[in-house]
Structure 1
Amino acid sequence: MTPDSLVFQQLTSPGDASPELRRALAECWVEVTNAGGAAGFPFPPVDAATVTPTLDRIVDQLAPDTNRILTATVNGELAGWLNVRRDRFELIAHWGTLHHVQTRTALRGLGIGRALMEEVRRVARDEMGLEQLHLAARGGVGLEDFYGQLGWKEIGRWPAALRLSAGDDRDEILMLLAPL
């Protein structure tokens, strides 16, 4: 069940991300990563100094047609966020890729991740004009099951592509959502 107070916001230009929102995005990313989440930093622990430069690069490249951040807030507090990007190259401009999908650990199980994924599907289709979405997920943590319940299909794997530590190699799972 998604909280009634769930609100989505899109960031489509660098000016959309206030310093307070940037701090909240970075705090979420640190929390998710340090809890073992597969959101872009594979080697916890991380801190704001580690995460902020990468977040700043994402924010600095925001543009309505090619790169957006979608946030979900509950009672005015950031609950989760993701980044959706598309390449303008005409051969592949009909699809986009999701990056850094994450929800605050204390709010898991409330349907926020599901709602965020449903909203990005709508945004990608209705606002960005995309026909399909791609993502790569870390194997071994059940992400393919979560995304599968939302209509995503596994389209391939790179076996043992991700080395988290000696003896802990994970598959990278390639997933597709089409049509939107």
Structure 2
Amino acid sequence: MSAPPEMLLRMKREIVPDLVQITGVREVTPGLRRQLVDCWIAVTNSGGAAGFPFPPVRDGEVTPVADELLAGLHPARSRLVVATCGEALAGWVVLKLDPFRLVAHWGTVHHLQTHPGFRNRGVGSALMRELRRIARDELGLEQLRLAARGEEGLEEFYGRLGWREVGRWPGALRFTPDDTRDEVLMLLDPL
């Protein structure tokens, strides 16, 4: 039985990126730092929901936020996973943990993004599968959580990866007086 034409087209476009886990700022080279910032700018300015809701953004806005995120990397609190294709950064995602014992069994996913030049090629899915593996196998977590911007199709993307919607903050995100959206709360368990 042959695959449908749309599936064949997708299979031809998909790539297998190299995935690297980073647990401390000392592991981040100046070149990688530059690519992380550039990716965040490109994703935001192309309409991606990656933490800066009001494009366009520029280096001066993104760099301090990226530096703060990188400074917070720690094996027990925050990990960065990057996807590369050759020398190019294809995407990245952050996993944060709370050391408070009551919630130490779960982690929170932040800033999943795929560079616009690598979209629709499986990079985001690869990052999320690797993050799940790290959370389960290396950190012993039982569940992951995330919050997503409504009306972006993100629920469907995460749903294909086993996530389920567990709630919404109705009208939580106001971009303009005429553009108010829900914040979608999603859960992946068991890992």
**Fold in common (TM above 0.5):** yes
- Within the candidate set 126, 135, 139, 2:137 is matched to 126
Q: How many residues align?
A: 179
Cα distance in 1 for partners of 2:31, 2:60 equals 15
- Normalised by the length of structure 1, the TM-score is 0.97
Cα distance in 2 for partners of 1:63, 1:147 equals 26
Query: Which sections of structure 1, spanning at least 5 residues, go unmatched?
Result: none
Cα distance in 1 for partners of 2:127, 2:25 equals 21
Corresponding residue number in structure 2 for 1:142:
153
Q: Give yes or no for the alignment of 1:64 onto 2:75.
A: yes
Letter in 2 for 1:174: L
- Within the candidate set 27, 50, 60, 1:39 is matched to 50
Cα distance in 1 for partners of 2:41, 2:189 equals 31
Higher helix share: 2
Cα distance in 1 for partners of 2:33, 2:115 equals 15
Q: CA deviation at 1:109?
A: 1.1
Equivalences for residues 156-175 of structure 1 within 5 A? 156-175=167-186
Cα distance in 2 for partners of 1:129, 1:15 equals 24
Corresponding residue number in structure 1 for 2:111:
100
Cα distance in 2 for partners of 1:23, 1:127 equals 28
Query: Which sections of structure 2, spanning at least 5 residues, go unmatched?
Result: 1-10
Corresponding residue number in structure 2 for 1:23:
34
* 3-state SS in 2 of match to 1:91: helix
Cα root mean square deviation, aligned = 0.8
- Normalised by the length of structure 2, the TM-score is 0.92
Runs ≥4 residues deviating over 3 A: none
Q: Deviations over 1:11-65 (max 9, x none)?
A: 1011011111110000000000001111000000001110111111111111111
Letter in 1 for 2:92: W
Cα distance in 2 for partners of 1:71, 1:166 equals 36
